[in-house]
């Protein structure tokens, strides 16, 4: 499983032994670089960035840190080591050896799964491409660039699978992944959340805390797949994804910390005074949290899904930590409660567990998000402030599934149009909120200095000091 860095495309899949595949990927590579130059991180090409690069798939020492110019980053194909005698853990093929080739009956379904996952990776790079203009510090700019190059590598992971296992169809899908654009009215990205703008750093931190966390759960479900190359690809992607979640949770914690410092200095919790001192007030943070959380919940799809049931039954996509769950892993006779809107109230209905797999994964995700919010609230509690951040009800501001046609408050009340409009400004970011946050976005590019709306981190990266020159400008 050693990584071959002597090749044009770094890999640990013995690419050199398959000349046709190697040529196909080497033809795709310049198109990828064109895409990166076209819609990758703006203004980054000549900067030396202190980045980590995968040099192994061994969890004990898989990354090397050094200065790299962004277009020279060595994107490659890395799969986690195979498990000896691994068996399919769920569905109708439970107990059978995992597949190392695509089963013919699942070919189109697997391709669809891989394309949908692959489409999210370049989309987030496109959404974040302008953020370098307004970085709050070199530490944060480096973290943005690290997230970007790793999302690019995750695209490589999915394109490898498409090229290696799906022939001409896979090559065409690989080309299409570079043709779609986030927010493009004619060729948008497949999933709605990946067509939203990420115009400021507060949105970026919310995205990496919330939307990248969805990525964690989707990748974890795919890591259970009976198609072993997909499982091994996503297992290593999860290793890199952990940093993205850290960037989001710690970034918002630092925003909160700075807000609490200002509230203490001014002895006030009045939003206007906190804003006047150049910090982001807690109610504004809550509205951003409400928006990004609700948009991300839609990524899990409808509460009842025949597609999810088919993926599970076929052994293609499991549950989060499938093998730790104590049941028969068939779910033929099991049920799971899903929400339903009944007039002016929200109730639950027992649904066949296979049909409710989206909802179960969404609930696992919500519990994980809540743990992060709880950690933020401990900061607020220790500061002696009575306010708390909360996750809104899962039906709030939804566009897909049970709640698509309902108006639900953050506390879970079903509203009429008048009541929704009366509360909407308190629940979702307004134009004024976004304008205020945008007004704070001024670049800070001297080592060790930070924008006034965010606190410095407690420690630097890879043992470096906080004031280290994480990005060297040309």
The pLDDT assigned to 287 comes to 98
State pLDDT tens for residues 136-180: 999 999 999 999 999 999 999 999 999 999 999 999 999 999 999
How many Å apart are CA 370 and CA 364, to the nearest integer?
10
CA dist 282 → 109, 212, 278, 290, 396 (Å): 44, 23, 13, 12, 19
State pLDDT tens for residues 94-122: 999 999 999 999 999 999 999 999 999 99
pLDDT over 70 (residue 1): no
The pLDDT assigned to 388 comes to 98
Q: Which residue has the tokens 């001409």?
A: 168
One DSSP character per residue, 260-317 reads: HHHHHHHT---HHHHHHTT---HHHHHHHHHHHHHHHHGGG--SS-HHHHHHHHTTSS
The pLDDT assigned to 188 comes to 98
The pLDDT assigned to 474 comes to 72
Give the pair of three-digit tokens for residue 171.
């090559």
Phi, psi of 419 (to 5 degrees): -65, -40
Give the pLDDT mean for 221-249. 97
Give, as one character, the DSSP assignment of residue 64. Answer: E
CA dist 324 → 224, 328, 353 (Å): 11, 11, 17
pLDDT over 70 (residue 442): yes
How many Å apart are CA 415 and CA 71, to the nearest integer?
50
Residue 445's pLDDT band, with cuts at 50, 70 and 90, is very high
Q: Are 75 and 32 in contact (CB under 8 A)?
A: yes
How many Å apart are CA 21 and CA 166, to the nearest integer?
11
Give the pLDDT mean for 219-236. 98
pLDDT over 70 (residue 429): yes
The pLDDT assigned to 335 comes to 98
Give the pLDDT mean for 326-339. 97
The pLDDT assigned to 115 comes to 98
pLDDT over 70 (residue 67): yes
pLDDT over 90 (residue 56): no
The pLDDT assigned to 238 comes to 95
CB atoms within 10 A of CB 150: 24
The pLDDT assigned to 55 comes to 87
Share of the chain above pLDDT 70, in %: 100
Q: Are 471 and 48 in contact (CB under 8 A)?
A: yes
3-state helix, strand, coil split of the chain in percent (to 5) is: 50, 10, 40
Among 116, 287, 131, 251, residue whose Cα is nearest residue 194: 116
Q: Which helix (H) or strand (E) holds 347?
A: strand 345-352
Cα dihedral value 313, 314, 318, 323, nearest 10 = 80
Question: What average pLDDT is seen over the chain?
Answer: 97
Share of the chain above pLDDT 90, in %: 96
Global confidence as pTM: 0.97
Give the pLDDT mean for 70-93. 96
Give the pair of three-digit tokens for residue 99.
């597949």
pLDDT over 80 (residue 270): yes
State pLDDT tens for residues 274-285: 999 999 999 999
One DSSP character per residue, 124-182 reads: HHHHTTTGGGG-S-HHHHHHHHHHHHHHHHHHHHHHHHHHHHSHHHHHHHHHHHHH--T
* Choice among 55-64, 316-325, 427-436 with the minimum mean pLDDT: 55-64
The pLDDT assigned to 254 comes to 98
How crowded is the C-beta side of 275, counted as CA atoms within 13 Å?
Answer: 16
Query: Which CATH number fits the domain 15-472, given the four candidates 1.10.3720.10, 3.40.50.450, 3.20.20.70, 1.10.620.20?
Result: 1.10.620.20
Cα dihedral value 442, 446, 447, 452, nearest 10 = -30
């Amino acid at each position: 499983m050693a990584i071959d860095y002597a090749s044009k495309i770094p890999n640990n899949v013995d690419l050199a032994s398959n000349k046709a595949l190697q040529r196909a990927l080497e033809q795709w590579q310049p198109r990828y670089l064109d895409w990166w130059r076209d819609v990758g991180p703006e203004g980054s090409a000549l900067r030396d960035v202190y980045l980590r690069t995968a040099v192994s798939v061994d969890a004990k020492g898989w990354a090397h840190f050094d200065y790299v110019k962004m277009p020279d980053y060595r994107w490659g194909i890395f799969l986690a080591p195979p498990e000896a005698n691994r068996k399919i853990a769920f569905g109708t093929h439970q107990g059978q050896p995992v597949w190392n080739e695509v089963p013919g009956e699942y070919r189109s379904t697997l391709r669809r799964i891989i394309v949908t996952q692959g489409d999210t990776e370049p989309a987030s790079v496109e959404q974040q491409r302008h953020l370098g203009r307004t970085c709050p510090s070199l530490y944060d700019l480096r973290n943005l660039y690290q997230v970007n190059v790793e999302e690019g590598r995750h695209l490589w992971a999915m394109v490898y699978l498409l090229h290696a296992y799906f022939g001409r169809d896979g090559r065409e899908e690989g080309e299409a992944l570079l043709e779609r654009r986030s927010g493009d009215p004619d060729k948008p990205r497949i999933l709605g959340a990946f067509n939203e703008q990420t115009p400021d750093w507060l949105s970026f931190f919310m995205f990496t805390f919330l939307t990248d966390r969805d990525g964690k759960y989707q990748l974890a479900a795919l890591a259970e797949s009976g198609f072993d190359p997909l499982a091994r690809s996503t297992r290593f992607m999860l290793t890199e994804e952990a940093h993205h979640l850290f960037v989001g949770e710690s970034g918002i914690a630092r925003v909160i910390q700075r807000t609490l410092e200002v509230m203490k200095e001014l002895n006030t919790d009045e939003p206007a005074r906190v804003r006047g001192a150049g910090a982001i007030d807690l109610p504004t943070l809550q509205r951003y949290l409400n928006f990004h959380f609700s948009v991300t919940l839609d990524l899990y799809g409808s509460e009842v899904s025949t597609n999810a049931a088919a993926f599970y039954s076929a052994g293609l996509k499991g549950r989060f930590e499938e093998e730790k769950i104590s049941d028969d892993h068939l779910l033929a006779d099991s049920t799971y409660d899903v929400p339903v809107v009944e007039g002016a109230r929200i109730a639950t209905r027992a649904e066949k567990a296979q049909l409710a797999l989206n909802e179960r994964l969404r609930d696992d995700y919500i519990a994980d998000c809540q743990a992060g919010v709880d950690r933020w609230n401990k900061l607020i509690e220790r500061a002696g402030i009575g306010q708390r951040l909360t996750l809104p009800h899962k039906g709030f501001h939804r566009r897909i599934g049970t709640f698509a046609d309902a108006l639900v408050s953050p506390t879970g009340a079903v509203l009429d149009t008048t009541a929704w409009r009366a509360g909407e400004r308190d629940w979702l970011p307004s134009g004024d909120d976004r304008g205020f946050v945008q007004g704070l976005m001024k670049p800070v590019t001297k080592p060790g200095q930070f924008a006034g709306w965010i606190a410095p981190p407690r420690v630097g990266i890879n043992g470096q000091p906080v004031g280290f020159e994480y990005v060297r400008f040309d």
